[in-house]
Amino acid sequence: MHQLINLDHFSALTNITKEELDSKLIHEYSGEKFIHPIDAINIFLQKIDNQLLAIDMNGNILEPIFLEKTIQTITFFYETLLKNKTEASTDIIQENQLLKNTLVSLQEECQTYQLQIQNLQKEVDKKNEEIEFLQRKYKLMWGKVSNIGGIKD
C-alpha cells in the first residue's frame, strides 16, 4: 500500500479542517482517516494560492513565518511522495529479480530435459540396432535350418 498521510497530521500541518476536504479524497483504514500525498499537496497549494490572492488584494506583506511553514509543509509532502516512489521501485526490482530467477530456473530445467531426451534417443537407437541384428540373425538361423530340413521359402 502506498504511504498515506494521517488526516489529523495533515490538518495540524496545514490548518485545513477535515470539513474543508472533499470526502472522496479521504481514505479510511483501521478506523483512522488518511489522505494521499498528491491530493494533500494539491489541496495545500490551492490554499496557499487563495491566501496569496487575498494578501495581494489587501496589499498586506507576507509574514516570514507563513513562508517558512509553507516550505516545511511542501517539503514534508515531497518526502512522503519520494518514499512512496522508492518503495514502489524497490518492489518492482524485487519482482523483476524473482521473475529473472524463475526464468533461469526454467531454462536450466529445460536443458536437463533436453539432455534426458538425447540420452533416451541414443538408447532407443541402440535398441533398434540390436533388434535389427537379432532379426538378421534370426533370418540366417532359420534360413540354415530350412536348408537342412529341405524346407524352402
C-alpha angle 78-80-85 in degrees, rounded to nearest 5: 95
Task: Give the per-residue pLDDT at 152.
Answer: 53
- Counting Cβ atoms within 10 Å, is residue 26 exposed (0-12), middle (13-18) or buried (19+)? middle
What confidence tens digit (pLDDT) does each residue in 8-25 have?
Answer: 877 787 777 777 777 777
Q: How far apart are the first and last CA of the chain?
A: 86
* 105 or 3, which is more confident: 105
State how far the Cα of 28 lies from the Cα of 39, in Å rounded to an integer. 15
Looking only at the bridges linking them, the beta strands covering 32-35 and 26-29 are antiparallel
What was the pLDDT predicted at 57? 63
Calculate the average pLDDT of the chain. Answer: 80
Q: DSSP letters along the chain, please?
A: ----EEHHHHHHHH---GGGS-GGGEEEETTEEEE-HHHHHHHHHHHHHHHHHHHHHHTPPPPHHHHHHHHHHHHHHHHHHHHHHHHHHHHHHHHHHHHHHHHHHHHHHHHHHHHHHHHHHHHHHHHHHHHHHHHHHHHHHHHHHHHHHT---
pLDDT tens for each residue of 36-84: 777 877 777 777 777 776 666 666 666 666 667 777 778 888 888 788 7
User: Where are the chain's structural domains?
Assistant: 5-147
Res 121: pLDDT: 96
Instruction: Output the CA–CA distances (angstroms, integers) from residue 58 to 61, 115, 130, in the order listed.
Output: 9, 85, 107
Q: What is the pLDDT of residue 63?
A: 66
